[in-house]
Amino acid sequence: MPKDGRVYVGADLGATKILAAVFDSSMKPLATEKAKTPREASAKAVVAALAETVRRALAASGADAKSLAGVGVAVPGPLDRARGIVRYTPNMGFKDYALGSELAGLFGAPAFLDNDVQAGVYGELRAGALRGKRNAVGVFVGTGIGGGIVIDGKVYRGSTGSAGEVGHMTLLDGGALCGCGNYGCLEALASRGAMAKDALALAAAGKAPGMLDAAGTDIRKYRSSAIASSIESGDKSVRRAVDRAAYWLGVGLANIVHLLNPEAIVIGGGIATRFGERYLERALASMEEHLMPGLSGSAQVLLSELGDLAVPTGAAYPAAEAAGGAAP
Ligand SMILES: [Zn+2]
């Protein structure tokens, strides 16, 4: 049990999974619990699953319900942070939904909402790879690519809260179709989803036997681990597809450096660790190649220190700060 007895919860409420973590007042994680997000697009079912996951995490931490001093939840969609309202999420059925007040009522503690990617970059800023930085950017590479911006030590949110959508910078007009409907976005060229589409096309064309063995032709099985094992088994064509994605990530990083001149960029989302040194080196080489001379070497590129816990950590911090509980 933490010394002052108070605990805080941070949860990453995603379209496929829920990850809840309990932190003590020095923001050390005490316990985490995971659950699948209910498939049905009903906000009620999603909130019930979230509440259950949080309760299990609290029980696993050994804290009693009374010691809970704040809850932070991060969601993938636009929201009104001040009023605790989720404006919209693509899959979970939230539409102008007062999630903040509902959670506060359920747990008898103040509740805070945040955008998932912005929470992730805040987690890295307070407790991870970006500790001590004043100007930084987080780029989270997964099915899509999300980003968050830190200016003068604060998360920059933009005029409607949506700053940092680096995944939808157009890098190659007329390039691959993006989930947003445009063509040639960074996300369509460099995300894990983009690699998976290329790997599937190669497998279907008979050019990636290892990929076919690892995951068949069901793109849902084309996870980073399956793509990595195809490369390990000798699929050169898949390796080229991953190299190409790393190249485009580097182009995106160069654009970010030109726009914001950050001290550091943290790469999250698990992909850089999964694909190893070669992936990161390729991305860095491409970034350097696309930087104007004066900015060469100006930004450190770091790997996420918190991994999956970046978002829960960043979601929990505002709750702890509001209660005067977070370490400086
Ligand atoms: Zn896009």
- CATH code, 108: 3.30.420.40
CA of 76 to the centre of ligand 1 (A): 15
CA of 144 to the centre of ligand 1 (A): 9
**Cα distances (angstroms) measured from residue 304 to each of 39, 138, 164, 308:** 29, 9, 17, 9
Distance CA 131, CA 118 (A): 15
Residue 2 is predicted with a pLDDT of 45
Across 136-144, average pLDDT: 94
**Cα distances (angstroms) measured from residue 270 to each of 66, 139, 274:** 35, 11, 6
328 has pLDDT over 80: no
139 has pLDDT over 50: yes
Residue 273 is predicted with a pLDDT of 77
Q: Are residues 153 and 91 in the same domain?
A: no
Q: Are residues 92 and 152 in the same domain?
A: no
Q: Which residues surround ligand 1, an ion (CB under 5 A)?
A: 168, 178, 180, 182, 185
* Amino acid letter for position 231: I
Among 64-68, 177-181, 254-258, 259-263, which is the least confidently predicted range? Answer: 64-68
As for how many domains the chain has, the answer is 2
Specify if 256 maps to a domain: yes
297 has pLDDT over 60: yes
pLDDT tens figures, 94-127: 999 999 999 999 999 999 999 999 999 999 999 9
Residue 235: in which H helix or E strand, if any? none
Average pLDDT, the chain: 93
> Would you say 137 and 124 are in contact if contact means Cβ atoms under 8 Å apart?
no
Residue 275 is predicted with a pLDDT of 86
Q: Are residues 94 and 190 in the same domain?
A: no
CA of 48 to the centre of ligand 1 (A): 32
Q: How many CB atoms lie within 10 A of CB 216?
A: 14
Q: How does residue 22 score in pLDDT terms, banded at 50, 70 and 90?
A: very high
Q: Are residues 318 and 222 in the same domain?
A: no
Task: Find the domain containing 261 and state its range.
Answer: 133-304
148 has pLDDT over 60: yes
CA of 273 to the centre of ligand 1 (A): 24
Specify if 327 maps to a domain: no
CA of 181 to the centre of ligand 1 (A): 6
Structure tokens at 270: 């698990």
Specify if 283 maps to a domain: yes
Residue 90 is predicted with a pLDDT of 77
| Residue of 120, 98, 94 lying closest to 21 (CA atoms) | 120
Q: Are residues 268 and 173 in the same domain?
A: yes
CA of 203 to the centre of ligand 1 (A): 25
CA of 316 to the centre of ligand 1 (A): 29
Burial (0-12, 13-18, 19+ Cβ within 10 Å), 170? middle
Structure tokens at 137: 């950017």
Residue whose pair of structure tokens reads 């108070």 in the numeric block: 6
Q: Are residues 112 and 140 in the same domain?
A: no
Q: Are residues 94 and 178 in the same domain?
A: no
CA of 23 to the centre of ligand 1 (A): 35
Residue 326 is predicted with a pLDDT of 67
1 has pLDDT over 70: no
Residue whose pair of structure tokens reads 């103040």 in the numeric block: 110
Distance between terminal CA atoms of the chain? 21
Q: Are residues 203 and 144 in the same domain?
A: yes
